[in-house]
Structure 1
Amino acid sequence: MTLALERDWIWDSWYARDGDLWHCYFLKAPKSLINPDLRHFNVTQGHATSGDLVTWDHHGTCFAPSGGPAWDDFTTWTGSVVRGDDDRWHLFYTGTRKQEEGLYQRIGHAVSDDLHEWTRVGDGLCLDLVGPNAGAYEADLMRGFWHDRAMRDPWVMRDPEGDGWLMYFTARAPGIPEANAGGAIGFATSPDLMTWNLQPPVFVGGFGQLEVPQVLQIDGRWYCLFCTSAEHFSRDAAESLQTGPLTGTHYLIGEGPRGPWRVAPGFLDGALPCRRYAARLLQTDDGLRIMGFADHPDGTHFVGEIMDPEPVTVTADGLLQVVGQRHAAE
């Protein structure tokens, strides 16, 4: 069974595990819009739970844009959920405002005691592209090519090399002549999940957009998943892949959570037209599983539902592979 809603499209998702229960959070928008391209600016966050990642109980809307003028009164997009040292659950999410026509993205913070009801911390805003390291980012809209000032899709995790927390996010670096070579994995640190310090990106290059990053350690190796579209490959990245540019989920391989990072030689989960996008890797009791939303698998219409999990293995040389799929290498 897929995670699908009769009246809503579903796309980006993120997950938290509490005991034996998986909580899935996802972006959703009403199908009454008719045109799925309108979904991004008519969005709320949905919530569902499952014991096996296959059969889901839907709990409705759990988070939405602010009701009045605010930095996140237009959209509340993709995020991540972690459990803090205070034993509360912390949601980090992307927000935009109507006054800026949704062009400038920032990162917000909300908390919950039960994974169902969420309350913003203050006005919610926890990180923007400001401060001493802001010069390492494209902090203003690059008009003429990009549709946004990128700062979205936060992925938060404990710092395995210290006592605090790490945040990764989709961003771009400034001053790179080829727009599709300026995509970046942004980075920030925090001692307590409340106060965040912007750091320089941990990776720049290869793609114009590295969306929905997810950093995790598997068998002692470090990986950073991201999704991208075929039209956002740089010239060098396009030439390096035997299949040519694909749309879907790719990944970086790192020497540690701060890198250095390099682009993996084979695309993890991609196709033209795109079958699955914005995928996550979940570390289950039965091994790695990949989950993402069905995009345009038949090449004609947007599906907008979460696909069933598929197993992922790590090859002897440390590459990720979806079971049953073959991947090109350099």
Structure 2
Amino acid sequence: MSFALTDHWVWDFWHADDGETHHLYYLHAPRSLADPGLRHRNARIGLATSDDLSTWVDHGVVLEPGGAADFDSSATWTGSVVQDDDGAWHMFYTGTRFLHPERITNVESIGHASSPDLFTWSKSALHVPADPRWYETLGDGTWHEEAWRDPWIHRDSAGLWHMLVTARAVVGTGRDRGVVGHATSADLRNWTVQPPLSEPGAGFAHLEVLQLVTIEDRHVLLFSCDTAHLAGEREAEGVQGGIWALPLATDRLEHPLDISSATRLTSEEFYAGRAVRNREGQWVLLAFENVDAEGTFISGISDPLPLEWAPDGSLCLAPAGIHA
């Protein structure tokens, strides 16, 4: 395990690289809560830095929830960081409002903060909620939460910014409504929510912690879904969850994504995987250490696991990176 805290649980994370230092933004909550299931209501965003993706220096909290009336009043959840053409850094993150102290009912939406140096962050008024024309909302009464979280910001080869979001379609069968939510922007400041990039019915109740990355000139979409949130035929056939990968022909996102073709990259031992390039130019997977053989939550970020393309065109862990 490359990064862990003794007094806090650590799970979802994202990465930014300024060319000299790796920056790891991570969710954490105090172990004094006793029940790891309570961590989601108490999540804060922290920062650690590294030269080698293995040894980290922790810098503590960099982003906290807002006030009682704000969209992020309960907790700050997963996001991503990008740099604009003027050199400023932008963090798009999930804000959540839990509506009852004893129920899991919550509303998720996307917020924004900026930084000149990747250490000091200032929230802006930018707020991107789910659009009920295409996406399931809490008022529909079909799911326990309004899922609109984990924004991944991708700039395609034509220069258009895309926001990929964990979301659920307003149509579909029962649990099997997980889709890739989508919004676009020309400037990172004005966003237009678009229809989903994928169709419901792919076998996932949700597609969490999305990442679109180009590895050795090949595009691939990563996401996570645990066993408990598989749906449709995957659930019926007893498929196990984990981190999933879907190779793409282009990064332009002009056509629907065939999420049903995604294959499992890792077991449920790991979750919220991110592909990151180290200083030697090698692509590796970082993930949080999710559960042990008994299903007990572990916490902490894994050591780098080397990635490679298999002969059949799928993304996989290199042999040296496979854990028994």
Match of 2:136 in 1: 138
Match of 2:72 in 1: 72
Q: Residues 278 and 293 of structure 1 are in contact (CA less than 8 Å); yes or no, is this contact kept in structure 2?
A: yes
Give the TM-score normalised by the residue count of structure 1.
0.88
Offset of residue 160 of structure 1 = 1.5
Q: Residues 227 and 248 of structure 1 are in contact (CA less than 8 Å); yes or no, is this contact kept in structure 2?
A: yes
Offset of residue 33 of structure 1 = 0.5
Offset of residue 135 of structure 1 = 1.3
Offset of residue 44 of structure 1 = 0.6
Deviates more, 1:56-65 or 1:134-143: 134-143
Does residue 49 of the first structure (1) align with residue 52 of the second (2)? no
2: CA distance, partners of 1:100 / 1:110: 27
Deviates more, 1:215-224 or 1:72-81: 215-224
For 1:184, which of 176, 179, 191 is the aligned residue? 179
Q: Residues 126 and 195 of structure 1 are in contact (CA less than 8 Å); yes or no, is this contact kept in structure 2?
A: no
- The amino acid across from 2:136 in the alignment is E
The 3 A distance-change label for structure 1 pair 68 and 143 is closer
The 3 A distance-change label for structure 1 pair 291 and 47 is same
Q: Residues 63 and 121 of structure 2 are in contact (CA less than 8 Å); yes or no, is this contact kept in structure 1?
A: yes
Q: Residues 10 and 29 of structure 1 are in contact (CA less than 8 Å); yes or no, is this contact kept in structure 2?
A: yes
Does residue 173 of the first structure (1) align with residue 176 of the second (2)? no
- The amino acid across from 2:87 in the alignment is D
Give the TM-score normalised by the residue count of structure 2.
0.90
- CA deviation digits over 1:198-241, x for unaligned, max 9? 0111112321110110011223332111100113223333578x
Please give the secondary structure, in 2, of the residue aligned with 1:73.
coil
For 1:150, which of 147, 150, 157 is the aligned residue? 147
1:1-330 map, 5 Å = 2-98=2-98, 103-122=106-125, 125-130=126-131, 134-143=132-141, 146-161=143-158, 163-179=159-175, 181-205=176-200, 206=202, 207-238=204-235, 244-257=238-251, 258=253, 259-262=255-258, 263-264=260-261, 266-270=263-267, 274-284=268-278, 285-324=280-319
Offset of residue 142 of structure 1 = 4.8
Offset of residue 159 of structure 1 = 2.4
Equivalent residue pairs, number:
312
- CA deviation digits over 1:122-164, x for unaligned, max 9? 3xx421123xxx41211335536x3211100000021212x33
2: CA distance, partners of 1:266 / 1:177: 22
Please give the secondary structure, in 1, of the residue aligned with 2:264.
coil
Q: Which runs of 5+ in 2 are unaligned?
A: none
- The amino acid across from 1:170 in the alignment is T
2: CA distance, partners of 1:85 / 1:141: 39
2: CA distance, partners of 1:69 / 1:231: 32
- The amino acid across from 1:139 in the alignment is T
Please give the secondary structure, in 1, of the residue aligned with 2:150.
strand
- The amino acid across from 1:128 in the alignment is P
The 3 A distance-change label for structure 1 pair 24 and 108 is same
The 3 A distance-change label for structure 1 pair 303 and 142 is farther
Please give the secondary structure, in 2, of the residue aligned with 1:3.
coil
Q: Which runs of 5+ in 1 are unaligned?
A: none
CA RMSD, 1 decimal: 2.0
Q: Residues 152 and 171 of structure 1 are in contact (CA less than 8 Å); yes or no, is this contact kept in structure 2?
A: yes
Q: Residues 168 and 187 of structure 1 are in contact (CA less than 8 Å); yes or no, is this contact kept in structure 2?
A: yes
The 3 A distance-change label for structure 1 pair 265 and 8 is closer
2: CA distance, partners of 1:88 / 1:69: 28
The 3 A distance-change label for structure 1 pair 98 and 150 is closer
Offset of residue 294 of structure 1 = 0.8
Q: Residues 126 and 194 of structure 1 are in contact (CA less than 8 Å); yes or no, is this contact kept in structure 2?
A: no
- CA deviation digits over 1:244-269, x for unaligned, max 9? 42221012232323143224453111
Please give the secondary structure, in 2, of the residue aligned with 1:231.
helix
Deviates more, 1:183-192 or 1:93-102: 93-102
Please give the secondary structure, in 1, of the residue aligned with 2:245.
strand
Offset of residue 309 of structure 1 = 0.8
The 3 A distance-change label for structure 1 pair 38 and 239 is closer
- CA deviation digits over 1:85-112, x for unaligned, max 9? 2211100000023557761111000000
The 3 A distance-change label for structure 1 pair 12 and 250 is same
Q: Residues 313 and 320 of structure 1 are in contact (CA less than 8 Å); yes or no, is this contact kept in structure 2?
A: yes
